[in-house]
Structure 1
Amino acid sequence: MSFIADKQTLEDLNLLSKYRSNSVYSIFNVVHTRGGRKILDEMFDFPLTNVEAINTRSSIFEAFGRLEFLFPLNGQAFEVMEDYLSSAEGKDAMDIFKLKALAFVGLDKEYREIQAGFYETVKLLNIFRDFLYRLDPEAMPAVYWKEIASVKAIFKDYRLAWLLLANGAKDLSGLKIAKYDAVLRFTFREEMKQICSLIYKTDTYMAVGNVGRLSGFAYAKALAKDRYIIRLEGLCHPELKNPVSNDITLSADSNVLFLTGANMAGKSTTMKAFGIAIYLAHMGFPVAATAMEFSVKDGLYTSINVPDNLNLGLSHFYAEVLRVKRVAEEVGDSKNMVVIFDELFKGTNVKDAYDATLSVTKAFSAHRNCAFIISTHIIEVGEALGAVCDNLQFVYLPTVMDGLKPSYTYRLQQGITNDRHGMMIINNERILETIKGTLKQ
């Protein structure tokens, strides 16, 4: 079963955008090859739900991070190699002799391109072979080492014995080029694809592993679904510089985190950090935390920036209701979900928002196989929930006052805050005086 995360969730957490420099995808998009980028895209598009698969992938990333190796091939040069090898599609080995004959009379540009691609490919194949022999089998997870052993066997084939001798050569005869070209592009066509596949994977493993190491991220340990635990230590948002970290634990006995705090106290950032960590952990990627373990979930839903839809005639409130309904359908279908609601029902009046938040949170909390983070400005809801639910944990992000100027610690504390500083901030900015035209310049 595929991990569930819809478009709204991906946008709320800014996960996938390839064209935003501040997206989560952009953090890891330091691959060098087209194939490596395709693998990275697939990993982001399809997080895993199998415990063994997640932990195996994490172990490969972590192993390459420890090695501190740089990708051994030049990306642009490798594209030349890719184009050279793929140019044989639909042709046979005799075509190179025909091109060579035309080249003698200066009539074939394609032969010159093949010649250049051949020399570049020989060089890069030797570089990659040397790289594989530098790897310590004891430092590599078994699943990856099997692929290495398979590719090493290709390089050891007697029909490629000439490869080392041709390395660095620029003056091979036309006959030898034609002979060796036939070996690479025709006789070993499938083997070359296998080598390129390992190059793509290595590119991706190195990119993610090095990002994890350089960023100080941790690798999460995936646990069985029926453990119903999510434990994060030192959690922070991966895009922030010098972030403040927090610890969060959710379990079957305490599966709802009820979060309060003033505007700008950091509620949305904390919830986004949690959601991003959940998503990356299911990909087997390093997360912005010092430690994490989690029971594998079926999916993740967020409701942070729910837009109205004027084309469909939907108000902001009704869009929120539909969003909650969709989550309710997934949770009611016995799926193990992680759900994040930022200020439920903020599109309606306070009385309705109070009643709806109380009822919906109480109903959701009964699904102890799921994990919820719910924030609100209506702190009275927390007191009512505490009287009827025994599986909620109440935390808040405090505001520290320096006279009339608020500041924020961004550190979670136990309890429910009574901070209400909206009018204070409005007064500090002297908005009413500006409206009345009495603000002194």
Structure 2
Amino acid sequence: MSFIADKQTLDDLSLLGKYNTNSVFSLFNQVNTRGGEKLLDVMFNHPLTDADAINSRSKAFRYFHDNVFTFPFDAALLTRAEAYLEEAGDSSLPVALWRTGRKRLMEILVKEDTYPLLQEGISNCITVLKSGARALQQLENEGRDKNTPWENWAGIIRSITRDERLKAVLEERAPAKRSLLQTARLHHLLTYVFQAHLKTLLELTYEIDVYITVAGIAREKGFSYALASPKEKNMLHAKGVKHPGLAKAVPNTLSFSGNSNVLFLTGANMAGKSTLMKATGIMLYLAHMGFPVAAEEVQFSVLDGLYSSVNVPDDLNKGYSHFYAEVLRVKKVAEEVAADKRLFIIFDELFKGTNVKDAYDATLAVTAAFNAFTACFFIISTHIFEVGEELKVKGNNIQFVFLPTVMEGSVPKYTYRLQPGITADRQGMIIIENEGILEML
């Protein structure tokens, strides 16, 4: 089963987007190779839903976090070698010799470049293999070729570079001028005999590129690694959660369980509610990828998916108002929750597109209803603090927290640190007055 996160959620949390410099993907997209970038994109688009698989990948990242390595390959060379290996190989040496000879003849007669390109492809592959052989030797000397994330890579490079059929060419100290027969033989070996092994080697090399790069970013930024548990444990404990895109983000601690599955969040404008919710959503998404997270410590039970409702747009083409778009969003989430899925839900200011009375009634009813689905976790923020007071009276197992505002004269200051309780802080008019808007008018 795939992890659920729809376009609205991905956009709300700015998770994807190679060309969006503020996306979480761009934060980690410092890989060396095109293949590494493609693999990174696959990982971001397909979070994991198996605790063992998550912890296994997380363990690999942690290994490279603790053991610093420099990526041992030329990225451009890997790309050219991969392009060369896409060429269909000849199933026998005589056929390879005949076809290679024809390319050589066409080079002589009409200056066709297919033979020089074939030679270049061979040279690129050989250079990659030589770099791999040196890296393997270092790993073996350090005892890192077994029982580490290098093990599969080491096994495949060993099987290729220590094959007697390639031994002589890999021991060359300088590029050799090869005869037609030698060229045909190498072309046959690389694009047919060893083609599958070489493609696997490249895939594992791109994986190592991702491991080294992501772990390096985590080390630089002080990220940690989440520990996944089976779904049945039904819990989330996250200490020191921060937004990964903020250099001076303030950490907060969050905890959910079946007995406390709703976090009811209040606070004034600019107090940090949206940032906190986005940080939590990003943390959960990365945790399900097995990636490092911007937190001190995270333990979580695997979920089926993540839904957010932060920036719900209206739809002019369908004639949907902002409020109706919000209603449809809540309906979508309700359908998923009612289908017995384990989800993490983020609602930032429910029903802000309607009048205060309707927003109060709807927020109260929806929050109370969602509270009954104990296999799902919710963060619900609102400016309507009276809803929280009413929910307290009803005695539901809801956590009430707020982000405080400290007034310094007429200037509001924000701590961005969660506190237990409900706040009635409202600084909207103060902000408007401080900006001098009324004086302008």
Aligned residue number for residue 96 of structure 1: 100
The answer to whether residue 192 in structure 2 is matched with residue 186 in structure 1 is yes
Contact 2:343–2:377 (8 Å) recurs in 1: yes
Go from structure 1 to structure 2 and tell me whether the alpha carbon gap of 1:140 and 1:204 turns closer, same or farther (over 3 Å shift). Answer: farther
Normalised by the length of structure 2, the TM-score is 0.94
Please list, as runs of the form range in 1=range in 2, the aligned pairs for 1:178-327 lying within 5 A after superposition. Answer: 178-327=184-333
- Structure 1 residue 162, shift from structure 2 partner: 2.0
- Structure 1 residue 144, shift from structure 2 partner: 5.5
The answer to whether residue 24 in structure 2 is matched with residue 24 in structure 1 is yes
Please list, as runs of the form range in 1=range in 2, the aligned pairs for 1:122-201 lying within 5 A after superposition. Answer: 122-135=126-139, 145-166=151-172, 168-201=174-207
Go from structure 1 to structure 2 and tell me whether the alpha carbon gap of 1:167 and 1:422 turns closer, same or farther (over 3 Å shift). Answer: same
Aligned residue number for residue 114 of structure 1: 118
Q: C-alpha separation between the residues in 2 aligned to 1:9 and 1:101?
A: 59
Contact 2:400–2:421 (8 Å) recurs in 1: yes
Deviations 1:294-313 (A, max 9, x none): 00000000000000101101
The answer to whether residue 88 in structure 2 is matched with residue 81 in structure 1 is no
Contact 1:126–1:167 (8 Å) recurs in 2: no
For 2:30, what is the secondary structure of its paired residue?
coil
Q: C-alpha separation between the residues in 2 aligned to 1:76 and 1:296?
A: 38
- Structure 1 residue 373, shift from structure 2 partner: 0.4
Please list, as runs of the form range in 1=range in 2, the aligned pairs for 1:346-361 lying within 5 A after superposition. Answer: 346-361=352-367
- Structure 1 residue 138, shift from structure 2 partner: 5.5
Deviations 1:12-47 (A, max 9, x none): 000011111110000111222232222111111111
Contact 1:122–1:167 (8 Å) recurs in 2: no
Aligned residue number for residue 8 of structure 2: 8
Q: C-alpha separation between the residues in 1 aligned to 2:398 and 2:410?
A: 33
Aligned residue number for residue 422 of structure 1: 428
Q: Residue type matched to 2:46 in 1?
A: F
Contact 1:151–1:194 (8 Å) recurs in 2: no
Q: Residue type matched to 1:18 in 2?
A: K
- Structure 1 residue 132, shift from structure 2 partner: 3.0
Q: C-alpha separation between the residues in 2 aligned to 1:405 and 1:256?
A: 32
Normalised by the length of structure 1, the TM-score is 0.94
6-15 vs 246-255, which deviates more? 246-255
Q: Which runs of 5+ in 1 are unaligned?
A: 436-441
Q: C-alpha separation between the residues in 1 aligned to 2:216 and 2:90?
A: 39
106-115 vs 283-292, which deviates more? 106-115
Q: C-alpha separation between the residues in 2 aligned to 1:54 and 1:141?
A: 18
Go from structure 1 to structure 2 and tell me whether the alpha carbon gap of 1:389 and 1:43 turns closer, same or farther (over 3 Å shift). Answer: farther
Contact 2:337–2:343 (8 Å) recurs in 1: yes
170-179 vs 70-79, which deviates more? 170-179
- Structure 1 residue 172, shift from structure 2 partner: 3.5
Q: Residue type matched to 1:181 in 2?
A: H
Quote the RMSD (CA, aligned, Å): 1.9
- Structure 1 residue 98, shift from structure 2 partner: 2.1
Q: C-alpha separation between the residues in 2 aligned to 1:173 and 1:191?
A: 25
Please list, as runs of the form range in 1=range in 2, the aligned pairs for 1:32-111 lying within 5 A after superposition. Answer: 32-88=32-88, 93-94=96-97, 95-104=99-108, 107-111=111-115
For 2:412, what is the secondary structure of its paired residue?
strand
- Structure 1 residue 401, shift from structure 2 partner: 1.0
Aligned residue number for residue 438 of structure 1: none
**How many pairs does the alignment contain?**
435
Contact 1:88–1:186 (8 Å) recurs in 2: yes
- Structure 1 residue 351, shift from structure 2 partner: 0.5
- Structure 1 residue 431, shift from structure 2 partner: 1.6
Go from structure 1 to structure 2 and tell me whether the alpha carbon gap of 1:297 and 1:4 turns closer, same or farther (over 3 Å shift). Answer: same
Deviations 1:374-416 (A, max 9, x none): 0000001111111113311111111111100111111111111
- Structure 1 residue 139, shift from structure 2 partner: 8.2
Q: Which runs of 5+ in 2 are unaligned?
A: none
Q: Residue type matched to 1:61 in 2?
A: F
